[in-house]
Amino acid sequence: MDQVTQHNNQQAQRRAAMAVLAQAEAGEIAARLRNLALPAHQDLRAPESGLVMLRGRVGGDGAPFNLGEATVSRAAVRLASGEVGFGYTLGRDGDKARLIALCDALVQSRDHGGAVERGVIAPLREQLMIRRKQAAVETAATKVDFYTMVRGEG
């Protein structure tokens, strides 16, 4: 496998992991990480909160406009082996941002990437899918079918 393909695969894996971690609760992530032997790591950027501007478009392709601001927390972590992870999450949950950053760094590690995928990301992904299915079932239960009867006048 050439370097470009390997890099693209790693980026896709990180992207998929971040999609799951962003929707998980901080307590769920922390509980799963407790089951792993974590390597030495340090905070490059302590968790901090700030604002980002949300932009919208009318109809999805119209002129962009500023919709408002949202609170975001971010953090950065470096493993002793050199991998750097970044974590962002909506809201003021600095602990969650730090946990996401730690998972991002671990996913990049050759020694820990597989264990994090099996012990943290995959179970959280499964929980997320279960929640989505339950929400779909609950939504489907309230579905109303509207139909029009054609009168036989002629």
Which pTM value belongs to this model? 0.83
The per-residue pLDDT for 10 is 86
Residue 128 identity: L
Report the alpha-carbon angle 31-129-8, nearest 5.
Answer: 85
Q: Predicted confidence band at 154 (pLDDT cuts at 50, 70, 90)?
A: low
Quickly tell me which residue has 């998980």 as its tokens: 24
Task: Evaluate whether 104 touches 15 at the Cβ level (below 8 Å).
Answer: no
Q: pLDDT digits over 102-130, tens only? A: 999 999 998 998 999 999 999 999 999 99
Quickly tell me which residue has 């950065």 as its tokens: 76
What single-letter DSSP state applies at residue 121?
I
- How large is the average pLDDT for residues 6-13? 87
Residue 85 identity: G
* Rg of the chain over all Cα atoms, to the nearest angstrom: 21
